[in-house]
Each structure stands twice: as C-alpha cells, then as structure tokens.
Amino acid sequence: EAGLTGGIAYDIFNIGGSNTSKDSPLNPADIGSLNLNGGVRLNYFFSSRSYVGLQLKYNYLDYKNKGGRSLAGDAVTMDLIFGH
C-alpha cells in the first residue's frame, strides 16, 4: 500500500535544562515552531493486521531564536514503522 501523508504540529524544545545557577552560561529558554509536513508512505502487510512501513516527509520549520544562533532550515525525516 502506498500513499501521501501530511500533518500540522507545533514543535517545542528547551535549551539550558533546569540548571539555574548564576555561573551557568546558559539561560533556560523554550524555542518553538509551527511544523507543516508532507510526504509519501509505503506499507507492506504481512497479514491482515501486521505491517512494516516506511515514511519520508519534508518538514517546513520556522524556529525563532532571538539573540542566539540561527536555527533556520527545514528538515527531512524518515520513519520506519511496525504495526499490529
């Protein structure tokens, strides 16, 4: 089975962890971005309920890291999926 796949998400990650020491060079910050993605998927069924799949997606990202290094750029992801 083959087809198209897509999604909309909001990705967020934390930089700096929980270290709040004045000596730490990192100030904790949350950085997020809208994630619009689309791609193709391929599923191979072993039986009516079990399958292995491969999914390849292009992810449009727009991270804003004010005052820090640029996080510009999109991503390509590949997922190996086992289902039952």
3-state secondary structure 22-56: CCCCCCCEEEEEEEEEEEEEEEEECCCCCEEEEEE
How are the residues of the chain apportioned to helix, strand and coil, as percentages rounded to the nearest 5? Answer: 0, 60, 40
22-72 residue pLDDT tens: 655 666 678 899 999 999 999 999 998 999 999 999 999 988 887 778 888
- Token pair listed for 2: 């083959």
The amino acid at residue 64 is K
pTM more than 0.95: no
pLDDT at 52: 97
CA 27 centroid distance within chain: 24
